[in-house]
Chain A
Amino acid sequence: MLAIDRVESRLPDLKPALTEAQARAEAARCLFCHDAPCIAACPTAIDIPMFIRQIHSGNPVGAARTIFEANPLGHSCARVCPVEVLCVGECVYNAKGEPPIMIGRLQRLATDHVVHAGIQLFEAAAPTGRAIACVGGGPASLACAHELVRLGHRAVIYEKGSWPGGLNTDGVAPYKMHAEESLAEVAWLSEIGIEWRLGVEIGRDVAWADLEREFDAVFLGAGLGPDSALGIEGEDLQGVWGATALIEAIKTGRQVDPASVYSAVVIGGGNTAIDAARELKLLGVPEVRLVYRRGPESMSAYAHEREHATAEGVAFTWRAVPVAFEGNGRLTGVRLTSVDRSCNPVGEPFRVAADLVALAVGQSRLETLLAAIPGGIAHEKGHVVVDEATGRTSNPKYWAGGDLANGGAEVVNAAAEGKRAARGIHAWLAGNGGAR
């Protein structure tokens, strides 16, 4: 399905697996806090001190069970969660002036133990005869489908692309997780009976009305649309990429040849911009520059990610925006202008050489997709509005979660929201909702 010699394969694992001995030593440090702050910081509320204690007592399978019971995406979250601003950031050791517990890496040890060895921890409950369609093959749908199958429902995931896993497979920075790890997680989760329909786009290959007829409920986990464009001169030059398209190309194929790039410019101030810049740098591009219209204090990217990028040699140009991309068929440079606090141009434009540009200025919303749903669905600028407790949308047959609903957050948020929707659907079905 994915090429073996993908570009991402050249990138190292920046937080490699702990050995069993390292993990037990680290686990021994955990204080087993009462009402632990790390749990409160986890969107899926994993009982972190408990699974760490289970690792310490030589029970990695039990530790994995504790993790997956709370978070079906525990395997990928162990790698891709920004733990620095979640569980690890809240570890009481920070206040003690000592290194916080390496929670992500301990979690990885436990989930690797079962996923890599193919130890299945869950099974489908007795069939309820109900069926739910999950639209979109990413973390939100996976979490939702896994929980639904565990509750005895049939869950079918529709993915318009040719591989499962969504951004976990084609969007996560490779030095956090390679695509095959996402696919391994998908396979492990799907083992209990999740059905997949790859290469099927709802609204194009299957009509929404038909989907509604076939299924008792629909979960929308379709994420965000393609990279947004700036609408400036030269955006169609060869060498100008959308950032998520670039990352997907690096992760899933060989179209990007880092050796042919000397100078790369990334436009944007979010985590996708940082990811793209770090990936290019770590792939050996000599000059990587991140251009952002405001100062570092305004970046939505995590500070720790920015620090890593700086340490790895990414250069930053603050308070500047591109006005044109230059080249003759192929990109050769970017014309930038400095801007003031209100983002109005100041001074003369200047040029930086570039043979690759990645635009990380946001992703489009799936408003067209939403508009096609019979009866409509309430959303705010493309973000589906859902009930906080159940994940249900304004349309009684639809639930939603993940980036489509939250506008773009972490895998762990998608996992929490997918599971929440599954519980919501289950409660509704148990109350004889959707009876036909």
Chain B
Amino acid sequence: MRNGNLGNGGPRGNGGPRPGRPVDLSVNCGGIRSPNPFWLASGPPTNTAGQVMRAFDMGWGGAVWKTLGDPITNTASRYGAIDYQGRNVAGFNNIELITDRPLEVNLREIAEVKRRYPGHALVASLMVETREDWRDIIRRTEDTGCDGFELNFGCPHGMCERGMGSAVGQEPRVLEEITGWASEFASIPVLVKLTPNITDILNPAMAAQRGGADGVSLINTIKSVIAVDHDTFSPIPSVAGQGTSGGYCGPAVKPIALHMVTRLGKAEEFRLPVSAIGGIHTWEDALDFLLMGASSLQVCTAAMHYGFRIVQEMTRGLEEWMREKGYARIEEFRGRALPNYEEWGDLDLNYRIVAEIDPALCIGCQLCYAACEDGAHQCIALHAGTRVPRIKQDECVGCNLCQIVCPVEGCITMVEVERGLPKESWNDRVAAGTAGAGGRH
């Protein structure tokens, strides 16, 4: 990954690289334990025992069963996707609802899976309406031997119109009340799944904490219209020529999810563990969430796109990174990046970097020039006789755009310019009374 600088710099873990040593990926998220942090999120991949058992055989550490409740009727079609630059499914949305199978069948299968895979995390996602419904479904589901519940307060389509899903997640008072019921009835951990379709994720998260939840999972999908069919004029996915808003997920949403997980990780008043969801496709995505404090990780779109085998890339990648950094357990680095997350007002305004082009690597595409000239600060110049652009380093603002658009790895680097100035943030200037006229130069 570029510009992330994950894992380089910073102190090493326990005594440097451990190339030959085993690493322990096991986690405990709000009392729910699993051999690795990768859980299948509640959704189509966790619809049946056959799927979940195959997933466990492939290496998944846990699974959140497709939401139980009153069986529903689904539409055809249900999915839409955005392709980007020749790759399928950069973003994905769906209008599928909760399980369409009878509760007894689901409970029988959950019990069977738990019996065969006692060491894996098996969480039942639930969505019903009344206090009596919640009591009934929690009691019946607990009998399966499952490890915890996830209350689906996030689904942004179909169920919210019936007063469930994101209709609850968007209303902290209701969320707190229903969480309270579930905590009262359940003797196993209760996670609350949050919708991102709100202004500040801390509000519903705090409501879950007040309601007695053992953890939160986020994010559920984002309300979205994926596209419009240019011939039929139907929104996509199209159901008999009509469409509706669906839940957006996949790689495109990862930064949004990572922000929300970070928001909770930084909030001192919020103390619950977080099961992170949103666009996790590789070990690097997974590591981002762990470094921002997540205790477990949930994946759906990647499994829907590539099948269950994809988890092996994630576990192996995470293990390799841990060995390289000398970490034996996830707990040793979980939340490691949180202290480096600051509000904008606390960032150092005196820090300066400028771009540098390696002419030996430059292939002369001049994308950096076009980007800087049209899209940034006009700090790159072209010269006759060569296709290699030149950075006007005296004028370069260090914005990074040229490095981001450069197609050659390592060709453009951002070099620190020593200015001999101490750190000074906007908040420092405000405190010193210099934030006004003299604040910029």
A49: nearest residue on chain B (CB-CB)? B365
B363 contacts A by Cβ under 8 Å: yes
Instruction: Give min CB distance, A135 to chain B, whole Å.
Output: 41
B371: nearest residue on chain A (CB-CB)? A34
A35 contacts B by Cβ under 8 Å: yes
C-alpha gap A34/B382 in the complex (Å): 11
Chain A residues positioned under 8 Å from B408 (CB to CB): 96
- Select the stretch in A25-33, A140-148, A363-371, A407-415 that faces chain B: A25-33
B119 contacts A by Cβ under 8 Å: no
C-alpha gap A293/B87 in the complex (Å): 53
In the complex, chain A residues 5-44 whose Cβ is within 8 Å of any chain B Cβ? 24-25, 27-29, 31-35, 37
B87: nearest residue on chain A (CB-CB)? A28
A215 contacts B by Cβ under 8 Å: no
B369 and A93 within 8 A (CB): no
B365 and A34 within 8 A (CB): yes
Contact A95:B364 (CB < 8 A) given known A28-B85, A28-B86, A56-B86: yes
Instruction: Give min CB distance, A50 to chain B, whole Å.
Output: 13
A33 and B85 within 8 A (CB): no
In the complex, chain B residues 63-108 whose Cβ is within 8 Å of any chain A Cβ? 85-87
A25: nearest residue on chain B (CB-CB)? B86
Chain B residues positioned under 8 Å from A34 (CB to CB): 365-367, 369-370
A92 and B86 within 8 A (CB): no
Contact A33:B86 (CB < 8 A) given known A96-B407, A96-B408: no
Chain B residues positioned under 8 Å from A27 (CB to CB): 86
Chain A residues positioned under 8 Å from B366 (CB to CB): 33-35
Most B Cβ at <10 Å: residue of A27, A28, A34, A35? A34
Q: Is the interface of B mostly helix, strand, loop or mixed?
A: loop
C-alpha gap A64/B114 in the complex (Å): 59
Q: Return the CB mask of A84-108 against B: 1 if under 8 Å, else 0.
A: 0000000011011000000000000
C-alpha gap A92/B387 in the complex (Å): 10
Chain A residues positioned under 8 Å from B369 (CB to CB): 34
A92 and B370 within 8 A (CB): no
Chain A residues positioned under 8 Å from B85 (CB to CB): 28, 56
A93 and B86 within 8 A (CB): no
In the complex, chain A residues 34-76 whose Cβ is within 8 Å of any chain B Cβ? 34-35, 37, 56
B367 and A32 within 8 A (CB): yes
A33: nearest residue on chain B (CB-CB)? B365
In the complex, chain B residues 376-423 whose Cβ is within 8 Å of any chain A Cβ? 382, 387, 407-408
Chain B count of residues within 8 A CB distance of the other chain: 14
Instruction: Give min CB distance, A368 to chain B, whole Å.
Output: 46
A21: nearest residue on chain B (CB-CB)? B86
C-alpha gap A245/B102 in the complex (Å): 80
Instruction: Give min CB distance, B409 to chain A, whole Å.
Output: 10
Chain A residues positioned under 8 Å from B364 (CB to CB): 33, 37, 92, 95
B86 and A96 within 8 A (CB): no
C-alpha gap A37/B369 in the complex (Å): 14
B406: nearest residue on chain A (CB-CB)? A31
Instruction: Give min CB distance, A37 to chain B, whole Å.
Output: 7
C-alpha gap A93/B367 in the complex (Å): 13
B364: nearest residue on chain A (CB-CB)? A92
C-alpha gap A96/B365 in the complex (Å): 10
Chain B residues positioned under 8 Å from A35 (CB to CB): 366, 382
C-alpha gap A34/B374 in the complex (Å): 11
Chain B residues positioned under 8 Å from A32 (CB to CB): 367
Chain B residues positioned under 8 Å from A93 (CB to CB): 363
C-alpha gap A34/B388 in the complex (Å): 12
Chain B residues positioned under 8 Å from A95 (CB to CB): 363-364
Instruction: Give min CB distance, A199 to chain B, whole Å.
Output: 47
Contact of A92 among B87, B365, B382 (CB under 8 A): B365
Most A Cβ at <10 Å: residue of B85, B87, B365? B365
C-alpha gap A25/B366 in the complex (Å): 22
Chain A residues positioned under 8 Å from B387 (CB to CB): 37, 92
Chain A residues positioned under 8 Å from B86 (CB to CB): 24-25, 27-29, 56
C-alpha gap A27/B382 in the complex (Å): 27
C-alpha gap A95/B370 in the complex (Å): 19
C-alpha gap A24/B88 in the complex (Å): 12
C-alpha gap A95/B358 in the complex (Å): 14
C-alpha gap A96/B87 in the complex (Å): 22
Q: Return the CB mask of A259-294 against B: 1 if under 8 Å, else 0.
A: 000000000000000000000000000000000000
Q: Return the CB mask of B295-326 against A: 1 if under 8 Å, else 0.
A: 00000000000000000000000000000000
C-alpha gap A31/B370 in the complex (Å): 12
Instruction: Give min CB distance, A195 to chain B, whole Å.
Output: 38
Instruction: Give min CB distance, B362 to chain A, whole Å.
Output: 8
C-alpha gap A32/B382 in the complex (Å): 17
Instruction: Give min CB distance, B385 to chain A, whole Å.
Output: 14
In the complex, chain B residues 171-201 whose Cβ is within 8 Å of any chain A Cβ? none
Q: Return the CB mask of B346-379 against A: 1 if under 8 Å, else 0.
A: 0000000000000000011111011000000000
Instruction: Give min CB distance, B410 to chain A, whole Å.
Output: 12
Chain B residues positioned under 8 Å from A31 (CB to CB): 365, 367, 407
Instruction: Give min CB distance, B22 to chain A, whole Å.
Output: 38
Instruction: Give min CB distance, A364 to chain B, whole Å.
Output: 41
C-alpha gap A298/B370 in the complex (Å): 41
Chain A residues positioned under 8 Å from B363 (CB to CB): 92-93, 95-96
In the complex, chain A residues 293-337 whose Cβ is within 8 Å of any chain B Cβ? none
C-alpha gap A34/B365 in the complex (Å): 6
C-alpha gap A274/B28 in the complex (Å): 72
Instruction: Give min CB distance, B368 to chain A, whole Å.
Output: 8
Instruction: Give min CB distance, A31 to chain B, whole Å.
Output: 5
Chain A residues positioned under 8 Å from B367 (CB to CB): 31-34
C-alpha gap A25/B84 in the complex (Å): 11
Most B Cβ at <10 Å: residue of A27, A31, A56? A31
C-alpha gap A120/B407 in the complex (Å): 37
Instruction: Give min CB distance, B116 to chain A, whole Å.
Output: 42
C-alpha gap A96/B408 in the complex (Å): 8
C-alpha gap A144/B94 in the complex (Å): 54
Q: Return the CB mask of A123-148 against B: 1 if under 8 Å, else 0.
A: 00000000000000000000000000
C-alpha gap A211/B386 in the complex (Å): 50
Chain A residues positioned under 8 Å from B407 (CB to CB): 31, 96
A29: nearest residue on chain B (CB-CB)? B86
Chain A residues positioned under 8 Å from B87 (CB to CB): 28
Chain A residues positioned under 8 Å from B382 (CB to CB): 35
C-alpha gap A117/B382 in the complex (Å): 43
Instruction: Give min CB distance, B361 to chain A, whole Å.
Output: 9
Instruction: Give min CB distance, B50 to chain A, whole Å.
Output: 32
Instruction: Give min CB distance, B105 to chain A, whole Å.
Output: 40
Chain B residues positioned under 8 Å from A33 (CB to CB): 364-367
C-alpha gap A14/B365 in the complex (Å): 30
Instruction: Give min CB distance, A254 to chain B, whole Å.
Output: 45
B85: nearest residue on chain A (CB-CB)? A28
C-alpha gap A28/B88 in the complex (Å): 12
- Could you jot down 17 A-B contacts, CB within 8 Å? A24-B86, A28-B85, A28-B86, A29-B86, A33-B364, A33-B365, A33-B366, A34-B367, A34-B369, A35-B382, A37-B364, A56-B85, A92-B364, A92-B365, A92-B387, A93-B363, A96-B408
Beyond A25-B86, A56-B85, A92-B365, 5 additional contacts (C-beta under 8 Å) are A27-B86, A29-B86, A31-B365, A32-B367, A35-B382
3 pairs of A and B residues whose beta carbons are closest in the complex? A28-B86, A34-B366, A34-B370
